[in-house]
Amino acid sequence: MKILKRVTCLVLTVFLTIGVFPSTSTGAATVAQLEAKRKNLAQQTQNARKEIENIKSKQLSVEEEIDAMDKVMNSLQAELDNAQSDLDALTESLNAAEKELEEAAVKREEQFQLLGSRMRFLQQKGATGYLEILLESESFSDLFLRMQYVNDIMSFDKNILDKLQEIQDTIQAKTDEIAENHAAQAEVVALQKEKVDSMQDLISEKEELMSSYKNDVKKQEQLIAANAKADQQVLNLMAQQSGSSTPYYTGNGTLGWPVPAKKAASSSLSSGFVHRINPVTKKSENHSGYDIPAPYGSAIVAAEAGKVISAGWIRGYGYTVVIDHGGGLRTLYGHNSSLVVSKGQMVTRGQTIAKCGSTGISTGNHCHFSVLVNGSYVNPESYLGVKNISK
């Protein structure tokens, strides 16, 4: 009882949401009123399908934009990587130059201190300092050597100081140049990072837009599914109005597509509901349905719930399934490679009933789908919601 109450509440909720039940003040809805409701549902479904096509078109455009942005992003990232690599190299050079500058300054300072020590010594000794050195000579030749020695020491110290100063000045200039280049390269890296971040923000915005499109498509698909259920409920009410125990169907585009492997579109058809020359017999004929090519073994599914009234070989159609949906409506699925249902079996909408093949009079793997109303073949266009083609 609890399950029954839950189901009843659910059905009532759906009916109240879509407005299937008429006002209680006017009594039970007439067949015409129910038909009007079905037309309204069919129009909503058609609008939803158009909206899905529109959204998918926008999705494609955004996908192309994202692809283009990705290419630009890859280029910008490569430029950033190169700029960062150059900056890293300059950083290493700057660190090395600063270290050389420090070492040169230390050496110059050490030599300067050595010279200072000598000068302080001579200053303390005064002129006698040189005189002592000279007087200690043992000969004239030794005197001249000592005089040259003193002069060489002074010249040596001066030369060393001059060279050390030159090296320090050179290293300082080199360090300043590298520092200037380092600063300039750091600006280049910062600017390149800004470009990468800006492009990433744009890509993120596009990806968020794509996500919103996917949600919109999902909502429209949910609406289509809800409309299909609501339509079936209306059909059941119409069956009750006519005193029939089976659902009542009309061509309002609510039958399911029988070949999930192919898109539900005219572009998926190889032949329509037309007068044509049979490609095998070469004879003129009225083609009784839609031919939908698909890979061998692809699933063929029931367009709607019903009872399998035929599952076997039918001349011309090969292995064929025929389903009775009630209300005088039947669907036929021909040229299958194998069947997975049997006569008398009840099937649900979308249930696999056969596998695609090319049995019977056929030139390739496909599903021949026909709609029969009260035993007569009719154009599947209004039942599937897929436009007929002229060949």
Highest mean pLDDT among 35-44, 80-89, 249-258, 366-375: 366-375
Spell out the domain ranges in the chain. Answer: 15-248, 266-384
Which residue is associated with the tokens 């572009």? Answer: 267
User: 15-248 is classed in which CATH architecture?
Assistant: Orthogonal Bundle (1.10)
> Is 244 a residue whose pLDDT tops 70?
no
Question: What is the structure's pLDDT at 6?
Answer: 41
Residue 174: pLDDT band by 50, 70, 90 thresholds? confident
Q: In whole angstroms, what is the distance from residue 359 CA to residue 339 CA? A: 12
Q: In whole angstroms, what is the distance from residue 326 CA to residue 247 CA? A: 5
Q: State CA 97 to chain mean position distance.
A: 49
191 or 229, greater pLDDT: 191
Question: What is the structure's pLDDT at 189?
Answer: 82
Residue 40: pLDDT band by 50, 70, 90 thresholds? confident
> Is 250 a residue whose pLDDT tops 60?
no
SS3 string of the chain?
CHHHHHHHHHHHHHHHHHCCCCCHHHCCCCHHHHHHHHHHHHHHHHHHHHHHHHHHHHHHHHHHHHHHHHHHHHHHHHHHHHHHHHHHHHHHHHHHHHHHHHHHHHHHHHHHHHHHHHHHHHHHHCHHHHHHHHHCCCCHHHHHHHHHHHHHHHHHHHHHHHHHHHHHHHHHHHHHHHHHHHHHHHHHHHHHHHHHHHHHHHHHHHHHHHHHHHHHHHHHHHHHHHHHHHHHHHHHHHHHHCCCCCCCCCCCCCCCCCCCCCCCCHHHCCECCCEEECCCCCCEEECCCEEEECCCCCEEECCCCEEEEEEEEECCCEEEEEEEEECCEEEEEEEECEECCCCCCEECCCCEEEECECCCCCCCCEEEEEEEECCEEECCHHHHCCCCCCC
Q: Which of 377, 252, 281, 366 is nearest to 320 (CA)?
A: 366
1 or 278, greater pLDDT: 278
What percentage of residues in the chain have a pLDDT greater than 90? Answer: 25
Instruction: Report the range of poorest mean pLDDT among 115-119, 152-156, 220-224, 243-247.
Output: 243-247
Q: What is the mean pLDDT of residues 129-156?
A: 61
Question: What is the structure's pLDDT at 25?
Answer: 36
Which pair of structure tokens corresponds to residue 308?
């399998």
Q: Which of 171, 225, 300, 231 is nearest to 42 (CA)?
A: 231
Q: What is the mean pLDDT of residues 47-66?
A: 89
Q: What is the mean pLDDT of residues 143-160?
A: 64
Residue 4: pLDDT band by 50, 70, 90 thresholds? very low
Residue 226: pLDDT band by 50, 70, 90 thresholds? confident
Highest mean pLDDT among 69-73, 82-86, 247-251, 280-284: 69-73
pTM: 0.44
Which residue is associated with the tokens 């249902």? Answer: 341
Q: In whole angstroms, what is the distance from residue 31 CA to residue 183 CA? A: 83
226 or 253, greater pLDDT: 226
Phi, psi of 98 (to 5 degrees): -65, -40
Residue 34: pLDDT band by 50, 70, 90 thresholds? confident
Q: What's the CATH number for 266-384?
A: 2.70.70.10
Phi, psi of 28 (to 5 degrees): -70, 145
Question: What is the structure's pLDDT at 249?
Answer: 57
Question: What is the structure's pLDDT at 173?
Answer: 75
Question: What is the structure's pLDDT at 261?
Answer: 94
What percentage of residues in the chain have a pLDDT greater than 70? Answer: 71
Residue 177: pLDDT band by 50, 70, 90 thresholds? confident
CA distances, 331 to each of 270, 324, 349 (Å)? 19, 7, 12
Question: What is the structure's pLDDT at 168?
Answer: 67
Q: Is 297 left (phi over 0), alpha (psi -120 to 50) or beta?
A: left
Residue 3: pLDDT band by 50, 70, 90 thresholds? very low
Q: What is the mean pLDDT of residues 294-304?
A: 94
Residue 18: pLDDT band by 50, 70, 90 thresholds? very low
Q: In whole angstroms, what is the distance from residue 90 CA to residue 72 CA? A: 27
Question: What is the structure's pLDDT at 83?
Answer: 81
Phi, psi of 331 (to 5 degrees): -125, 145
Which residue is associated with the tokens 């059941």? Answer: 236
Q: Is 330 left (phi over 0), alpha (psi -120 to 50) or beta?
A: beta
